[in-house]
Amino acid sequence: MRIVFLLLLSFFLCNACSPTKKALQHIEKNKFQEARSLLKKALTKDSLNADVYYVLAQLYLDTAYNQYNIDSSYAYVLEAQSDYQLTQAKTRAKQQKQIGLDSLSLRQLHLLNDSLAYQRATRNHTVTAYQDFLNQHPNAMQVSEATRFRNQLAYQAASQLDTYVAYQDFMNGYPEAEEYSMAQERYNTLIFREKTRSGDLQSYSAGFLGRYLQSA
């Protein structure tokens, strides 16, 4: 009789759990599809779903999940933070008790996404990878470093081409780069050579200087 009572109690307690708590339990057991189904269904019930988005963000950040995706996780983090700002205090307290959701846990998850996205950018180590990171994570702590690496790689690419057009493109694209002055100097040298190739005196006129040379 006692065993039957405990089983019934366990059943009712489980059913009393929120969908998000159940989903977290599924995630812990690697039952990802069950978790996703619960969460997607829960999204249709309320207009504010900070808790659901919060758990979805964790789901897509689990490397054991076959749909693991940093960008999807980050999108859900942003949705969770947006909805959380509009969530009433009573509901917030309930969500904190059930799944540990509060402003701090949201912030930590946001920072984790920033960090993982930056690690991905550094592994690829291309101008495009760093630019994608900067576009998607404009407030991340790694923005300055990502910008510096992007600019260095862009300047290296211009240097490899070593044409005045390449340096001009670099200066137009990255006017705040530390390498701007070096690009400017090289541009002036190359444009001068190109436009004065004929060697006549007219090529050296003030008109050329005003039209082509980049001022310091």
Nearest to 111 by CA among 91, 85, 81, 88: 81
Which pLDDT value is given to residue 203?
A: 56
Q: What is the Cα–Cα distance from 143 to 145, expressed in whole angstroms?
A: 6
Which pLDDT value is given to residue 17?
A: 74
Going residue by residue through the chain, which has 216 residues, state the pLDDT in tens, using 9 for 90 and above: 544 434 444 444 444 578 999 999 999 999 999 999 999 999 988 889 999 999 999 999 999 999 999 999 999 999 999 999 999 999 999 999 999 999 999 999 999 999 999 999 999 999 999 999 999 999 999 999 999 999 999 999 999 999 999 999 999 999 999 999 999 999 999 998 888 876 554 654 555 555 655 555
Q: Where do the domains of the chain lie? A: 16-124, 142-216
Residues 6+ apart with CB under 8 A from 21: 98, 99
Strand (E) positions, the chain? none
Q: What is the Cα–Cα distance from 51 to 39, expressed in whole angstroms?
A: 9
Which pLDDT value is given to residue 214?
A: 58
Question: How buried is 122 (Cβ within 10 angstroms: 0-12 exposed, 13-18 middle, 19+ buried)?
Answer: middle
Task: Give tens-digit pLDDT for 48-97.
Answer: 999 999 999 999 999 999 999 999 999 999 999 999 999 999 999 999 99
Q: Please report where in the chains the tokens 């960090």 appear, as a residue.
A: 115
Which pLDDT value is given to residue 45?
A: 86
CATH of span 16-124 = 1.25.40
Buried b (16+ CB within 10 A) or exposed e, 97-111: eebebeeebbeebbe
Question: How buried is 72 (Cβ within 10 angstroms: 0-12 exposed, 13-18 middle, 19+ buried)?
Answer: middle
Which pLDDT value is given to residue 209?
A: 56
DSSP 3-state helix, strand, coil percentages of the chain (rounded to 5)? 75, 0, 25
Which residue type sits at 174? Y
